[in-house]
Structure 1
Amino acid sequence: MYNGLLNIYKEKDFTSHDVVAKLRGILRQKKIGHTGTLDPNAEGVLPVCLGKGTKLCDMLTGTKKQYKVSFVFEKETDTEDIWGTVTKTHEPLKQDAPIKDTILSFVGEYDQVPPMYSAKKINGKKLYELAREGKIIERTPERIRIYDISDIEISYPEVTMTVTCSKGTYIRSLCRDIGHKLQNGACMTKLVRTRSSGFQLEYAHTLSEIEEAVKTGKIEEWIIPIEKVFLKYQKGTVKKDYDKVLFNGNPLKKEMFYEIDLDTTKKLRVYDESEQFIGIYYWKKICFSQIRFFMTTTNERKPWNTFIIQNNFNFIIQW
C-alpha cells in the first residue's frame, strides 16, 4: 500500500470523486482521499492522500488556496458560471466604472452567500439537489477571507485575476458579488486552482501521467512522504529502550528522547531510533501525547531518497 500524498492535476469534466475512483484503480488500493473539492468545470491542483496519509485530509482542507479565474460582466446565471442558465442580463458598464478598485475592495473578510448549485447541506440535503428540483432557498452567509487579488487583467467585458482565499470561499460567488457591487451582473467563465495546501500547479500530474508512472515504476518519485508536511515542527527521536511505549501510541516523557532541549510549547514530530516517522505530538501536562499517529510497518516504509524533493514545496498546516 502507498502512504503519502500526490499532487494531482484535476482535468475539466472530472469530479473530485471521479479522480479518487480512478486512482483507486490505477494504484490498486482503496484507502485514498482528496483534500478540497473542485467543481467538474474547474481544473488544477487537487491534493490526494494515500494510505496512512488519509489522516491528513482534515488538516490540509483548511489551508489557503489560490485560483486563476476569469469572468464576464452583463450576465447572471443560476449556477453563477457560464455553464448555467442565464437568469438576467445587464447593460454594459460605463467606461469610467471603477472595476479594478471594486475588485480590490473584496480583499479582507466578508460574509459570502454560497451558491444554490453547491454541495453545502440544508437539513441533510445538498443545495444542488434542491436547485435541480427548481427550489431556491435562503442561504446563510458565511464569513470567508480573501487574502489577496492580483494579476488583474481587464478586457471588457471579461476580467482575469488571481485570488488567494480561505477555506469555504466560492470563487463563482466572488465573481457574482463583484458584479452586484457595480450594480451589474457577472458569471465565472474559467477556474484553475493553482495552489492548495503547499501543492503547486507546475508540479501537478494528470491521471494519465500517474498511470504511466505506475507502469514504469517511477510512481514512488511522485509520492510525497507524510513527514514532509511537518518539517516546520521540531524533531524528537525516542531511545530504542522505549520502542514498546512508542509503538503502542502511549504518552512519551522527556527523558525518553535523545534531545534534551525539546520545547514543550511547540508541536513535535516523533521518530524512532531507525528514523521511522511515528507521528505528531504535543505537550500535555507532564508528557508528550499524540495528535496523529502515522507509524507504518516495515514493508510499507519507503526511503526518502525515492522522493524527488521540490524546492518550492511548502506546507502550512492550520490546526
Structure 2
Amino acid sequence: MDPCALTRTKRVRRALHGVLLLDKPLGLSSNDALQKVKRLLNAEKAGHTGTLDPLATGLLPLCFGAATKFSQLNLEADKAYVATLRLGQTTTTGDREGEIVSERAIAFTPEHLQGALQQLRGEIDQVPPMHSALKHEGKALYELARQGKTVEREPRRVTIHALELLSQTDETLQISVRCSKGTYIRTLAEDLGELLGCGAHLSALRRTHSGPLTLDRAITLAELELLDDAARLRHLLPPDLLLADCPLIRLGADDAGKLLAGIRRRTTLAPAARVRTFGPEPQAFLGSARIAGGELIPERLLSPIELQTLLAGPASLT
C-alpha cells in the first residue's frame, strides 16, 4: 500500500449559499471560470447564470447552494454589453477567432451609421450563427460547423432595447447594447456591417449588466486568488441578489414558518408576479413567492438547513 495514502484526507466541500459576481477573464470558458472559483471557495454546489464565450469578458454571476434555485431568473433577464466591431472584414465565425472570408472598403457617412443603428433597435429577427451551442438533431451547431456543414436555422425574435455608438476609428466601432435574452452580439455585429455595406465581425465583447446585477460589484479571478479564505467569503453576496428587482416582503415568525411549510397566506398586498420573502430576522431570506387572488403563494423556498446556514453568517464557515 502506498504509505502516502494513509495520510491523505478527502477534501470536504462546504455548503455555501450566495452569489459571487465574477469579472470573467478573456480566454476562459464560463464553466472553467466557475470550477476555479468553486475550488477557491471550497464550495459544495455551484452553477452560473448563462455562458459567456471565451472571447468575452465581464459580468458572470456565479450561484452557490440555495442561490442556484433562482439562477433561471437571471438567465432569462436582459443583458448589456460593450462590443467592439472590426469593420471591412467578415469571418467564418462572426468573430475574430474565425478565418477572414471577405474584405470590403469602409465608406459610410455618420448619417448612414445612425440610420443603420436605428434599423437594429427594437424587435428584430436574428438567424442564430452556425458557431453556437444550439442543437440540431442532438448535435451542437458548432460541432457541425467544424465539420464544414451548414444547416437551416429558423430566425429568432429578440429585442434590442438600446444600441448606441460609443467610439469610432478608421477600422472599428465600439457600441453599447442592451438586449433581451438569446441575442447573439456577433450576429448583431454582422448585421450592422451589412447595413453599412462594408461587413464586420466582433473583435471584443464585455458584459456589463445581467438583469439587476452590474459589473461594478464584480471581482476578477486574479484578485480572488490573492485573498485569504475569510476575504473570499466576504465577496459572497446574499442569494436574494438574483431577485433584487422584485418587491420585498417581510413576514412575522408565524407566517414565515407557514410559508416555508408551503402554506398559502391571505394578504392585502397588491398582486405581483414574483416577490422575495423574508422572515423577522434581517438575513432570513425565505425564497420567492407570488401574490394572486389575495394570497401569498410560495414558489421556490430555502430549506431549513439552508436558512440556518445563512443566519449563522460567513464566520461560521471559516
Q: TM-score range, shorter-chain basis?
A: 0.7 to 0.9
Structure 2: unaligned runs, 5 residues or longer? 1-14
- Counterpart of 1:32, as a letter, is A
Displacement of 1:251 in angstroms is: 1.7
The answer to whether structure 1 residue 251 and structure 2 residue 263 are counterparts is yes
Structure 1: unaligned runs, 5 residues or longer? 255-259, 307-319
Determine helix, strand or coil for the equivalent of 1:263: coil
Say how many residue pairs are matched: 298
Matched with 2:285 is 277
Q: 2:298 aligns with which of 283, 286, 290?
A: 290
Matched with 2:96 is 82
State, as a whole percentage, how many aligned pairs show the same letter.
Answer: 30
Matched with 1:143 is 157
1:207-286 superposed matches below 5 A: 207-213=221-227, 215-230=228-243, 232-240=246-254, 243=257, 245-248=258-261, 250-254=262-266, 261-265=268-272, 267-275=274-282, 276-283=284-291
Displacement of 1:158 in angstroms is: 1.1
Is the Cα–Cα contact under 8 Å of residues 234 and 267 in structure 1 kept in the other structure? no
- Counterpart of 1:226, as a letter, is P
Matched with 1:6 is 20
1:163-174 superposed matches below 5 A: 163-174=177-188
Q: 2:134 aligns with which of 95, 105, 120?
A: 120
Aligned mates of 1:145, 1:284 — CA distance in 2: 29
* Alpha-carbon displacement from aligned partner over 1:134-163 (angstroms, at most 9, x marks no partner): 111121111011111124322122111111
Displacement of 1:182 in angstroms is: 2.7
1:167-186 superposed matches below 5 A: 167-186=181-200
- Counterpart of 1:270, as a letter, is T
Residue 286 to residue 144, structure 1, CA distance change in 2 (3 Å): closer
The answer to whether structure 1 residue 200 and structure 2 residue 214 are counterparts is yes
Residue 123 to residue 93, structure 1, CA distance change in 2 (3 Å): same
The answer to whether structure 1 residue 301 and structure 2 residue 310 are counterparts is yes
Residue 136 to residue 179, structure 1, CA distance change in 2 (3 Å): same
How does the TM-score come out when normalised to structure 1? 0.85
Is the Cα–Cα contact under 8 Å of residues 279 and 295 in structure 1 kept in the other structure? no
Aligned mates of 1:234, 1:241 — CA distance in 2: 15
- Compute the RMSD of aligned alpha carbons: 2.5
Displacement of 1:201 in angstroms is: 2.0
How does the TM-score come out when normalised to structure 2? 0.85
297-306 or 26-35: bigger deviation: 297-306
Residue 192 to residue 96, structure 1, CA distance change in 2 (3 Å): closer
* Alpha-carbon displacement from aligned partner over 1:56-76 (angstroms, at most 9, x marks no partner): 111111111111111122211
Aligned mates of 1:92, 1:211 — CA distance in 2: 44
